Chains A and B, each alone.
Chain A
């Protein structure tokens, strides 16, 4: 057998067969990959059909003045308005105001929510004292708070940040609590067997086990914060994306209203993408752990 391998002709024939096989595998892989790419392209194109049709209809309707201009601004006008807002720096300024409101509220509401969630999740006493009250308060829609907050906090920054923070606290607390309550008991018992310190239990058992739930809390919090932000800015504000929309409405400039909506939607899409990216990172880390 070893002699046959040494034989150059056999070796060449084998190499040829091997090469052909490799080529076939390569071609097959290429076909599959290209096929997947083509399929993906078709799906993306299919997803773009409806928006393209709507924009076409919108454009035609505006062009032929089927609808009065005060009701439906031309898409070109909206685009122009967006570009002007961008060029003048107004858009940046309004976005910055809105973003900083959301960021502060996420920070404040998130910290309070985490504290409440961890506190009630880890100690039964605290839970017994706090949870019934929290549960009742959580039933009330955040919007209901706003008139009362206006009385106490005025209509300035404090109102926006307190209202959005309340909107953030509820989902963060509920999901943190759920995440901790659903930790399997055996995990904690193993930790006890290993004589983990409290910090070790928190860091190496509770946090990883509750992470998916914490993330759900974050996702809901961000979505709630964005929703409440637009509401509060529509109701009482002199800057921010919501204000841009109200302003356009008051000036009877529908192009400004639609431009504001486009910006709100774009930020929503970006937030969603960022959260998904974060979630996939998180899950990758979880898979790596086991």
Chain B
């Protein structure tokens, strides 16, 4: 039985390669035969060439580093704020009644609509982007924390009361561990949002600062299609790598949590 399952997974893997390989071959054939405008649909070889030169260019790595630093610092600020806000709304009914409606209404303002106002307030520099990225992280994390804390049962709370937990103990030994899975989900979502916000902010404020997004927008203004494709792949790869790391950390943290409990 194990052999059949292994052969089927092998066959599935192969079938999954058919579409991308066909498209690649088509792309190569079309550009090699000169049937299309190679200025618009660039040959794959050129993309590889540009990728090689870009990857050996220090400015590219610097831009990527800037973007990732921006992304992670904005994420950390937003995540801390989100966990605090979500826990508050989840733990206190009155806080929920007072702040909840405003929070849920503000959440409906499509994120990028904030950027022009933030750039008016904080200028075009690092601060506006950081605030923007934090804001984009805040919403999903706060929602996750809110749902997690709301999910703490009264029975657990009563046990904590019997043990005479102090408020700090209550927070760190009951509420946050119990809410950990939902908070983790919120954080994962927040990380995705933070990366989208980072790239978006760099696209929209392209003339200020230097990051991955700025490099790509500059490629667009000089009609450098190869650079745009390389940049797109870089954005996707960095995002995927960040998500993988986050998923690892999340699994690790939850496993440790499980062992302690």
Contacts and interface: CB of A to CB of B under 8 A. Distances in A.
Interface of A: 43-44, 46-51, 54, 70-71, 125, 128-133, 136, 139-141, 143-148, 150-152, 226-227, 229-231, 234-235, 242, 245-246, 248-249, 254, 257-258, 260-261, 264-265, 268-269, 271-272
B128 to A, nearest CB: 12
Interface stretch (B60-68, B92-100, B168-176, B252-260): B92-100
Contact of B16 (A70, A131, A254, A268): A131
Interface of B: 11-13, 15-20, 40, 94, 97-102, 105-117, 119-121, 192, 195-196, 199-200, 203-204, 216-217, 219-220, 223, 225, 228-229, 231-232, 235-236, 239-240
A160 to B, nearest CB: 14
A208 B200 CA distance: 38
Contacts of B225: 148, 151
Contacts of A136: 20
Contact of A151 (B17, B40, B98, B114): B40
B94 A143 contact: no
A102 to B, nearest CB: 11
A43 B93 CA distance: 10
Q: Which 8 A-B pairs have the closest CB atoms?
A: A268-B108, A132-B16, A47-B101, A140-B236, A265-B109, A144-B235, A249-B116, A230-B110
A43 B117 contact: no
A231 B204 CA distance: 8
Contacts of B18: 129
B117 A231 contact: no
Contact of B110 (A43, A48, A226, A248): A226
A147 B217 contact: yes
Given A49-B98, A151-B220, A141 B116 contact: no
Contacts of B99: 50
B16 A245 contact: no
B228 A46 contact: no
A140 B232 contact: yes
Contact of B113 (A44, A54, A151, A245): A245
Contact of A269 (B15, B105, B199, B219): B105
Given A151-B223, A265-B106, A231 B112 contact: yes
Given A129-B16, A245-B116, A249-B116, 10 more contacts: A46-B94, A51-B105, A71-B120, A129-B15, A129-B19, A141-B235, A230-B111, A245-B113, A264-B113, A268-B108
